[in-house]
Amino acid sequence: MTDIPNFSNSYWIDSLKTPDYPQLKEDITVDAAVIGGGIAGITTAYMLQKEGLKVALVEANKVLAGTTGHTTAKVTIQHGLIYNKIKNHYGEEKARMYGEANSAALKFVRDIVKEKNIDCDLIDQHSYVLAITDEYLQKVENEVKTAQALGLNAKFVEKVDLPFEVKGAVCFENQAMFHPRKYLKALCDLINEKEQCIFEDTRALDIEPGAIGDRELVVIANGGLKIHCDYAVLASHFPFYDGFGMYFARMYPERSYVLGIKTKKEFGEGMYITGEDPAKSLRYVPYNGGKLLLVGGEHHRTGQENNTMVRYENLRDFAEETYGIEKIVYRWSTQDLVTLDDIPYIGYLTQGKHNAFVATGFRKWGMTSGTLSGILIKDLILKKNSPWQELYSPSRFNLDPSLKNLIKDNAVTAKELIKGKLKNVPHTMDDLTPDTAKLISVDGNKVGVYKDADGNLHMVDTTCRHMGCEVQWNSAERSWDCPCHGSRYTVDGQVIEGPALKPLEMLND
Ligand SMILES: Cc1cc2nc3c(=O)[nH]c(=O)nc-3n(C[C@H](O)[C@H](O)[C@H](O)COP(=O)(O)OP(=O)(O)OC[C@H]3O[C@@H](n4cnc5c(N)ncnc54)[C@H](O)[C@@H]3O)c2cc1C
Ligand code: FES
């Protein structure tokens, strides 16, 4: 069996270093504060600045190291079988708008790459959703019919350039793939061209009503620093501030896994995803004069699986059977947020408040949806409307089937909360071997203990600092992950990603 690397390492991060941007050190006043240095935040900041607004982009950690630094970066308007789903749920007009909006995002990427001569490995590719079973074939055929009726460039194909049998596929022609960090680093350079506008190690903690002059809002960052602004854009993946939008009850996080493989048989062209669960995703990246195959998939809800290494092993076995493995060069995983109706939340954070915006819930299609966030939010700020604002409105609410999903989703969350609290804690310290973690009982309290390779113990209170669920061990990433809304923590309790803003309590001393 080919070895899987012992540590997570994203190809995108490994192959392109970004500059170290300074931490915010003093209060500032801008027109728009954009929170989050992923594709949604960087694109929005770029677009607003281009329209003449003074912007500040604040990032809690390093830019492009969140989900955008761990994606597979297919830039396509084909988002699974979304068109038929939207048509059935909301009607043909909304499905048409979804296609238009994402086409505008894809066009924006192509245009700016050309205009600014951005070297980001942007390659045109056809994009395919594959049917492996007869049952899924019917769904694929329906998607083809719907997409064609909407005027999208889609067709049914019986055969694909892959070394395994498929029943058929829906192909969207002339889509694209790129290196997301090369592309977005170029946008960061443009944002920072005239003055320093990007701040790293600067975590936004709260939003309050404006305190000086006629500025409407204050974003409070770590150290109590204030960013006075007229507009705040929450592009922090999970919104760091809820504003009574109840986002925690309207989205759930899903993790997925990626292997970067030098294969024995060469991968051809195209970007693929299997329709059936657990989905497998395939694309290549140009690598050392050849190709590195990215095999992704094996998703599950965050925090609901302990032995996550098995997910990588399943991807390895699939790659071994299909292409043969020379070497697994990279492995990484990340998570994305899924909304109740599979359409992202992009627009006003809450109804009636027109100075705070959110962009989230991209369901693993954030290269176009994140780009679209910039276009849509810029239009809402400058023109006060967008043709797609209703479709993406975070305040949309539809009883069927969203309410059903909401109830189901909250039931899962409540179950996790209770299950976590009641779970027996059977392990003692003696069970621990190096590089493993367990829940143990200390004086009757539940404690998460990780023993590192040198035998040092790292002990945390496993109560999530967001809303009190019990975090679970993620063995492959060596992190504590929350099954309720996806907050993740290091072995020493530091926040890797929110919605939690505070670290887990360390119990070492
Ligand atoms: C395995 C996998 C594969 C995928 N492949 C594809 C694909 O092929 N094509 C596609 O279109 N999409 C894909 N996606 C989805 C896509 O990668 C994401 O939707 C997108 O990257 C999300 O971008 P973002 O800007 O919303 O979030 P992020 O990139 O996570 O950026 C948010 C940033 O906000 C920062 N932040 C958080 N809280 C705060 C705070 N309080 N203050 C300041 N900063 C904060 C974070 O540190 C982070 O850097 C994939 C997703 C997964 C999980
Ligand atoms: S992320 Fe919400 S309770 Fe943990």
**What's the pLDDT at 306?**
78
Q: What is the mean pLDDT of residues 340-365?
A: 95
pLDDT in tens, 98-131: 999 999 999 999 999 999 999 999 999 999 999 9
Ligand 1 pocket: which of 42, 43, 57, 68 to mutate (most atoms within 8 A of CB): 68
Predicted structure pTM score:
0.94
Examine domains 11-71+182-249+342-404 and 429-497 and report if their fold is the same. Answer: no
CA of 437 to the centre of ligand 2 (A): 20
**What's the pLDDT at 212?**
65
Question: Is the minimum distance from the CB of 236 to ligand 1 under 6 angstroms?
Answer: yes
CA distances from 301 to 59, 66, 371 (A): 25, 17, 25
Helix (H, G, I), strand (E, B) or coil at 412: helix
Q: Would you state the CATH architecture of domain 11-71+182-249+342-404?
A: 3-Layer(bba) Sandwich (3.50)
Atom of ligand 1 nearest to the CA of 68: 21
Ligand 1 pocket: which of 128, 364, 466 to mutate (most atoms within 8 A of CB): 364
Q: What is the mean pLDDT of residues 266-275?
A: 96
- Of 330-334, 453-457, 469-473, the poorest mean pLDDT is in 453-457
Please say whether the beta carbons of 44 and 374 come within 8 A.
yes
Question: Is the minimum distance from the CB of 486 to ligand 1 under 6 angstroms?
Answer: no
| Closest Cα to atom 38 of ligand 1 | 236
| Closest Cα to atom 19 of ligand 1 | 366
Domain 429-497 is in which class?
Answer: mainly beta
pLDDT in tens, 202-215: 999 999 987 666 78
Written as one letter, the residue type at 111 is D
**What's the pLDDT at 400?**
46
CA of 251 to the centre of ligand 1 (A): 14
* Residue from 91, 42, 93 nearest 64 by CA: 42
In the chain, where are the structural domains located?
A: 11-71+182-249+342-404, 429-497
Q: 479 pLDDT band (50/70/90 cuts)?
A: very high
Rounded (10°) angle between helices 92-115 and 134-149:
80
**What's the pLDDT at 167?**
96
Look at strands 55-58 and 32-35 and give their pairing.
Answer: parallel
CA of 237 to the centre of ligand 1 (A): 6
pLDDT in tens, 395-435: 986 444 554 555 456 556 655 655 555 555 555 666 788 99
**What's the pLDDT at 396?**
87
Q: 482 pLDDT band (50/70/90 cuts)?
A: very high
- Residue given tokens 């999970």 in the structure block: 238
* Ligand 2, pocket residues at CB < 6 Å: 248, 464, 466-469, 482, 484-487, 499-500
| Closest Cα to atom 12 of ligand 1 | 365
Rg of the Cα trace of the chain? 22
pLDDT in tens, 50-105: 999 999 999 999 999 999 999 999 999 999 999 999 999 999 999 999 999 999 99
| Closest Cα to atom 21 of ligand 1 | 68
